[in-house]
């Protein structure tokens, strides 16, 4: 980001990370991270295990101090934003209070929020109305996740931060969860969520941040991330015997897979590959050229970075 973009984000942004670094001993979990989130955006935070997602969210919530750099939330420190009830959060770890019922825990979260919603509304929205009387330590994993979600949405917060919110939820719970989050986003809230479910990021996020070893590897819409990964899938059938060496010699070809007379390859310049294919005198049938899915793009980007930094 440029200096003027950082100044603008400081004035109007929801979240600003400016050159933020955080180490645990010798492990640099967050390494010079700079990004801004705009109010009303829904942003997915992706990255392999250990990339620094949870640490980033902890810094954003003021749960840990940064070693250097600044974190601002709506122009204030994270702590001030939390105290003012501007952030609702759902963390990846951390136990829930044990010997209380679901309703009691939600009541407590509502009581602590400066602008709480009615307890019954929070319970219903999180799909907890039927099990409100149950002890928190008797819940299944997916039910616990719903309780965490209820705690994150106990009041009218401007920013909702979610660390792997749907892990352990069944399909219906996940769908209900994201329908609720879409309502929250439509009401103008900023939503930042870490996830390993790339289809969720693809379907829900306006923008995707890819972290790798504490650094920002990519920042853009899902379509931009796919384009950045560069590769296209090219597949076709041949009516003559397949000459593997000739196919490998085509320009821009990455991986190559042959099964009978069907060829599937990856190309970082599909136009060049296909033109050269015709020029060699081969006649492909059923030619298909397709972009990568977000999941494949993510794998391609992170593997390329691994190879570059190895
Ligand atoms: N409390 C801690 N003490 C020491 N090291 C830590 C601590 N928390 C995280 N780390 C290390 O910091 C790095 C980043 O961890 P972090 O939890 O932020 O990753 P993550 O992207 O959330 O991973 P995951 O997808 O597995 O949740 C990892 O190498 C991790 O081992
Ligand atoms: Mg994590």
The vertex-19 CA angle with 15 and 25, nearest 5°, equals 110
In the chain, which residues fall in CATH 3.30.70.100?
A: 231-291
Query: Residue 92's pLDDT is what?
Result: 78
What pLDDT is recorded for position 94?
67
Q: Which residue ranges have their beta carbon within 6 Å of ligand 1?
A: 24, 27, 29, 47, 49-55, 92
pLDDT of residue 48: 93
Give residue-wise pLDDT tens across range 17-64. Answer: 999 999 999 999 999 999 999 999 999 999 999 999 999 999 999 999
CATH of domain 3-226: 3.40.50.300
**Location of each CATH 3.40.50.300 domain in the chain:** 3-226
pLDDT value at residue 309: 83
- CA gap 200, 189 in Å, rounded: 18
Give the CA radius of gyration of the chain. 23
pLDDT digits (tens, 9 = 90+) for 175-205: 988 998 898 899 999 999 999 999 899 999 9
Nearest residue to 100 via CA among 49, 134, 66, 62: 134
The predicted structure's pLDDT at residue 189: 94
Nearest CA to ligand 1 atom 29: 50
What is the predicted pLDDT for the residue at 176? 87
pLDDT in tens, 82-101: 989 999 998 877 677 778 99
Backbone angles phi, psi at 81, to 5 degrees: -65, -40
Dist. CA 67 → ligand 2 center (Å): 19
Query: CA neighbours within 13 Å on the CB side: how many for 23?
Result: 6
Long-range contacts at 58-66 (CB < 8 A, ≥ 24 apart) = 59/17, 59/20, 59/22, 59/30, 60/15, 60/17, 60/87, 60/161, 60/192, 61/87, 61/89, 61/161, 64/22, 66/20, 66/21, 66/22, 66/30
Spell out the CATH class of 231-291.
Answer: alpha beta
Question: Which tens digits make up the pLDDT trace of 257-267?
Answer: 999 999 999 88
Q: How does pLDDT run across 204-241, given as a tens digit for each residue?
A: 999 999 999 999 999 999 988 888 887 789 999 998 88
CA angle 6, 11, 15 (to 5 degrees): 65
How far is the C-alpha of 171 from the C-alpha of 168, rounded, in Å? Answer: 9
């Amino acid at each position: 980001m440029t200096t003027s973009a950082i100044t603008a984000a400081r004035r109007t942004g929801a979240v600003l990370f400016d050159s933020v670094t955080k180490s645990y001993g010798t492990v640099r979990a967050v390494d010079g991270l700079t990004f801004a989130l705009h109010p009303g955006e829904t942003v997915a935070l992706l990255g392999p295990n250990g990339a620094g997602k949870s640490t980033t969210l902890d810094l954003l919530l003021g749960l840990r101090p940064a070693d250097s750099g600044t974190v601002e939330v709506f122009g204030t420190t994270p702590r001030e934003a939390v105290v003012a009830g501007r952030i609702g959060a759902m963390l990846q770890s951390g136990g829930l209070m044990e010997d209380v019922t679901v309703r009691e825990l939600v009541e407590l979260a509502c009581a602590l929020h400066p602008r709480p919603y009615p307890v019954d509304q929070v319970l219903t929205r999180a799909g907890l109305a039927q099990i409100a009387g149950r002890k928190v330590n008797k819940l299944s994993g997916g039910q616990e996740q719903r309780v965490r979600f209820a705690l994150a949405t106990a009041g009218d917060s401007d920013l909702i931060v979610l660390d792997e919110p749907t892990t352990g939820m069944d399909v219906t719970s996940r769908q209900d969860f994201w329908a609720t989050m879409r309502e929250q986003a439509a009401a103008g809230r900023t939503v930042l969520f870490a996830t390993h479910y790339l289809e969720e990021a693809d379907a829900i996020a306006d923008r995707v941040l890819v972290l790798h070893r504490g650094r920002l590897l990519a920042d853009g819409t899902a379509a931009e991330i796919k384009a950045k990964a560069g590769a296209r899938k090219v597949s076709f059938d041949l009516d003559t015997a397949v000459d593997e060496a000739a196919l490998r010699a085509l320009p821009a070809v990455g991986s190559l897979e042959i099964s009978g007379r069907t060829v599937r390859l990856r190309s970082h310049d599909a136009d060049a590959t296909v033109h050269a294919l015709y020029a060699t005198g081969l006649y492909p049938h059923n030619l298909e050229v397709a972009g990568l899915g977000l999941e494949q793009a993510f794998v391609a980007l992170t593997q390329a970075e691994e190879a570059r930094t190895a």
